[in-house]
Amino acid sequence: MAQRNTVIWCHYKRRTCDTANLTCGDCPRKARENRPSRSKRGYNSEWYRIRKEVLQQYGIPREMWPQYDVDHNPPYNPEIEPDHRKYTLVPMLRADHSRKTVNEDMRRDSEGKFIKKK
């Protein structure tokens, strides 16, 4: 059986990246593989109850809930404040939330390190 090609273009490092090679520790594809579970990141059954309340509060029909994410403001950090209710929670369409998260919450410098907000 032929081996699958593991070399990809890494938009993070702006170069080719061999996903089978473990030397690229900064590659987000590897980060996803090593990412903790939802519950370990603070998104447990309590979070899903809170999410449901927020979507109901804003009057979003239940059949449209899969199209929405609930945004934390400031960005959720369980090490600083694990209680979701102490954040401002706003429903956003999934595409808008993803765009906002990448552009605002996950800014990085030229070396790929997170930039701390002032």
Q: 53: how many CB neighbours lie within 10 A of its CB?
A: 13
- Specify the pLDDT at position 12: 53
pLDDT tens-digit series, residues 2-44 = 455 566 666 555 566 665 554 555 565 555 666 678 888 888 8
CA distances from 74 to 18, 43, 90 (A): 35, 16, 11
91 neighbors 69 (Cβ within 8 angstroms): yes
% of the chain beyond a pLDDT of 70:
58
Residue with tokens 């939802």: 38
CA distances from 70 to 13, 21, 38 (A): 29, 35, 15
- Specify the pLDDT at position 1: 46
Domains of the chain: which residue ranges?
Answer: 1-35, 42-107
